[in-house]
Structure 1
Amino acid sequence: MIDRRKFLALTAAGGGAVFLSGLYRQAGATASTDDDFYFVQLSDSHWGFSGPPNPDAANTLQKAVASVNALEVPPDFIVFTGDLTHTTDDPKERRRRMAEFKEIIAGINIKTIHFMPGEHDASLDNGAAFKEYFGATHYTFDHKGVHFIVLDNVSDPGARIGDEQLSWLKNDLDQQKPDARIVLFTHRPLFDLVPKWDWATRDGDKAIALLMPYSNVTVFYGHIHQEHHHQTGHINHHAAQSLIFPLPAPGSQEKRTPLPWNPAAPYQGIGFREVEAKKVEPQYQIVEFPVTKV
């Protein structure tokens, strides 16, 4: 169980704001499955990227690893929500970047790490290289009373989940109770955030429709390189910051060009998040953390 005082100390150290999500863990369940826990979400490391706007791109992922290892209370697990590597047309280079990414991530002092692809990892080869290095692109797991679903909306270059995977999702959800505690991880937003920026999933509405009958659902995603919170009905969607560079606010300009590096505040807009599940409180607590600068 996470000590509340330690969690508040982490919040103060990280300098991040606490966001309370609508997903909750019900009281009264058995302690063996419903102990308090938290996980860390990292996203969009784009290993292999170089050039503006991040002059320290060759070291940012390593600094993120050090920042996670410095957390006072180790998380139960870590999830990377896509774009582990930066896109390349060269299959050999793609695999080299994935191998280097795995080598760097091996330095994290947490045994359980879940991976999912972003379009930079998977759209050019339908996820073939990703599967070689990280396994399945969509899967489920359960942890202390919460059902986690990893959904792939990037391996299809048309930004679709696809009928086959939607059928798989339906079959999985059919096994859950209406009040089951469900967390879904994906890379792109399932809703139409800014379609002209590729910030959407063409058949994401079908996935949302499948999730709507369930009363306790939260979605965590990446792709847009910034903290963002949205609701479709009772379902909360939370985008994470990236580990390489921030992007502009949704629809705030014509193109989604990266925000410039600020030498006076290096790593501004770059970070990761904690998500804490409390068995007796009616919400998840989400805390944003910056990547350590040294």
Structure 2
Amino acid sequence: MRRERTGGTHDEPGVPGAGAGMTRRQLARHGAWFGAAVALTVAGGEVISQVSDGRATGQAAAADQATLRFVQVSDSHIGFHGTANPDVTGSFARAIAQVNALPDRPDFVMHTGDLTHLSTPAQFDQVSQMMRGLRAGAVHTVPGEHDSVDDGGRAYRAAFGAGSRGDGWYSFDVKGVHVLALVNTLSLEKLGHLGADQLAFIRQDVAGLSSDTPILVFSHIPLFAMYPTWGWGTDDAVQALSYLRRFSSVTCLNGHVHQLFSRTEGNVVFRSATTTAYPLPKPGDGPAPTPQTLPAGQLGAALGIREVSYLPRDPRPAITDLELA
């Protein structure tokens, strides 16, 4: 079952103060009109025809090559043992299989943290081995707080930090989109925290970019105040986002909260992802965000992966959240 969230600004039902949603769907990314002679592809808002035998026109083929496609997975919590999900390894394996079965090979997969549950060497080794099975152009990660238990993230960086800076942050460019991968799970007091060094990195990193460059930001803890009482926010996010306000399109994707949630603030769209491990309660539903054990047969609907596309000449991503198959 697919949970469609297209256009990048479609809000979760019942979220107060969220921005208005977009309803424009991405036509024909992997669909055809049966019984007709033509299939359709959308590229940058333009409808491009394809002949019925599946041979794309040169324009459509070029647009397809220019389209950025990636997948977000989050909160696999390898090493967790509990009734909320007795087999998190099996769930994560299903998520990997689901990514590999997508009709279009993603340019990259991003895991937005809590790869492990207790940061042990065995858990890092297991999740690393599993992620090697992903069929994608590249695999990226940011750490969660469960990936830095008692060691300040050293084991995480040894396993996944190659090429990163500071405590594990980095950036890269892909198909016209500038990507920031941030770390806000160290130096935790009540909320997530980026710190002065990382803030300086963000400011310097985007300084030379054109304001029409689409900006994509990954973090584990939300960069907006989703529910500060439970630590679901980042205390210096406002400063970080001030460096991004001049850009026409900024999309911030996070994990941590184990549920879909969206908010729009000006040019910035925030989207929280679900988990491959176990659900957490809705904000304020109970005294603390503890793993929730669902009735038999309902766990799969609470877990999932996220598929995202940036079409040529369109800075707004199309986002589709998929339940775990």
TM-score range, shorter chain: 0.7 to 0.9
1:192 aligns with 2:218: no
1:240 aligns with 2:273: yes
Query: What's the CA shift for 1:283?
Result: 3.0
Higher helix share: 1
Tell me if the contact between 1:123 and 1:154 (Cα under 8 Å) persists in the aligned partners.
no
Which protein shows a greater Rg? 2
CA distance in 1, matches of 2:80, 2:221: 19
**What is the aligned partner in structure 1 of residue 56 from structure 2?**
none
Q: Give deviations 1:148-199, integer Å, cap 9, x for gaps.
A: 0101111223331000110111001112112211101111011221112110
CA distance in 2, matches of 1:123, 1:266: 27
Tell me if the contact between 1:34 and 1:145 (Cα under 8 Å) persists in the aligned partners.
no
Tell me if the contact between 2:258 and 2:278 (Cα under 8 Å) persists in the aligned partners.
yes
Q: 2:130 aligns with which of 81, 88, 104?
A: 104
Q: 1:182 aligns with which of 201, 215, 227?
A: 215
1:64 aligns with 2:95: yes
Q: 278-287 or 192-201: which moved more? A: 278-287
1:25-104 alignment runs, 5 A limit: 35-87=66-118, 94-104=120-130
Tell me if the contact between 1:33 and 1:145 (Cα under 8 Å) persists in the aligned partners.
no
User: Considering only aligned residues, what root-mean-square deviation do their CA atoms show, in Å?
Assistant: 2.3
- AA aligned opposite 1:103: Q
Q: Which has the higher contact order (CA 8 A, sep 6+)?
A: 1
Tell me if the contact between 2:308 and 2:318 (Cα under 8 Å) persists in the aligned partners.
yes
TM-score, scaled to structure 1: 0.85
CA distance in 1, matches of 2:182, 2:138: 18
Q: 261-270 or 184-193: which moved more? A: 261-270
1:150 aligns with 2:181: yes
1:133 aligns with 2:181: no
- AA aligned opposite 1:84: L
**Cα pair distance change 1:274/1:100, threshold 3 Å:** same
Percent of matched pairs sharing the same residue: 33
Tell me if the contact between 2:176 and 2:214 (Cα under 8 Å) persists in the aligned partners.
yes
- Structure 2's unaligned 5+ residue stretches are 10-21, 23-42, 47-61
- AA aligned opposite 2:243: L
**Cα pair distance change 1:253/1:245, threshold 3 Å:** same
- AA aligned opposite 1:45: S
**What is the aligned partner in structure 2 of residue 17 from structure 1?**
4
TM-score, scaled to structure 2: 0.78
**What is the aligned partner in structure 2 of residue 4 from structure 1?**
none
**Cα pair distance change 1:32/1:271, threshold 3 Å:** closer
CA distance in 1, matches of 2:94, 2:312: 32
1:210 aligns with 2:243: yes
Q: Give deviations 1:81-107, integer Å, cap 9, x for gaps.
A: 11100025xxxxx12110111111112
Query: What's the CA shift for 1:122?
Result: 2.1
